Amino acid sequence: MVYLDYSATTPVNEEVLDSFAKSALNYPGNPNSLHKLGVDANNLINEATEQIASLLKINSKEIIYTSGSSEANNAAIKGICEKYQNRGKHIVTTNLEHSSIYGPIDYLVEHGFEVSFVDLDENGLVTIDNLKKVMRDDTILVTIGAINSEVGIKQNIDEIGLFLKEYPKCFFHVDMTQAIGKIPVSLENVDLASFSAHKIFGLKGVGILYKKEKTYICMHKGQK
């Protein structure tokens, strides 16, 4: 059998699996414990976090570990809207997003938020002109995926991010699950971004929410 469904999930890389096995066996301590095994485990996590931060050209303090992109998307969307709802209750997104984007948005709509879907051009792209039409003074979140997992449409994230700087009360979240490790990415014009290891030959159940250092979110039980 030939496996081709890499956009859904990738097989784990043997070096990654070997590294996980060695760390699990050699660093069994709880990283929150103060004994040597715990301190050693915590140091290993910090080293790995610094490596990730270096690759993404961000601060290691801007990394929040999650169980995957779905949790990261939920944390970003609910976290921003619940934290900044005093600024407004309007969300902007597209009709090309993953279900883990629509889930928290539907929840927020049930709790008094409004959502607008920006029109796409003939190539499925968000244009600045169409985005302008749906932006409002009470828009606090725009969430747009970098690459659609089913048809591969690649949005111009940098252009959108630069435009959204004209709306200082609004935050820009990008689901970069299908982009990271496949194309060059920049987080310079993004406030929050979601990643998942299993899309790039990593282990399932591991993800990241990038959160710009001066961006704050409401944290829920189980998030750190």
Name the nearest CA neighbour of 95 among 51, 56, 126, 122: 126
**pTM reported for the whole predicted model:** 0.94
Q: State mean pLDDT over 201-208.
A: 96
181: left (phi over 0), alpha (psi -120 to 50) or beta: left
What's the average model confidence in pLDDT over 140-169? Answer: 96
Residue 223 has pLDDT above 50, yes or no: no
For 85-130, what is each residue's pLDDT tens digit?
999 999 999 999 999 999 999 999 999 999 999 999 999 999 999 9
Q: What is the pLDDT of residues 62-94, one digit of tens each?
A: 999 999 999 999 999 999 999 999 999 999 999
- Check whether 12 has a pLDDT greater than 80: yes
Average pLDDT, the chain: 95
pLDDT attached to residue 211: 98
pLDDT digits (tens, 9 = 90+) for 15-39: 999 999 999 999 999 999 999 999 9
Phi, psi at residue 138, to the nearest 5°? -100, 15
Across 39-43, average pLDDT = 96
Say how far apart CA 199 and CA 211 lie, in whole Å.
20
pLDDT confidence band for 224 (50 / 70 / 90):
very low
pLDDT value for 219: 76
pLDDT at 222: 44
CA pair distance 178, 189, nearest whole angstrom: 18
Tell me how far apart the alpha carbons of residues 28 and 120 are, in angstroms, rounded to a whole number.
Answer: 50
Question: Edge to edge, what strands does the sheet with 207-211 contain?
Answer: 63-66, 207-211, 192-196, 171-175, 139-143, 90-93, 114-117
> From residue 38, how far is each of 45, 49, 109 by CA, in Å?
11, 17, 43
Give me the mean pLDDT over the 151-170 stretch: 97
Q: Specify the pLDDT at position 220.
A: 61
DSSP, residue by residue, 156-206: -HHHHHHHHTT-TT-EEEEE-TTTTTTS----TT-SEEEEEGGGTT--TT-
Distance CA 171, CA 201 (A): 30
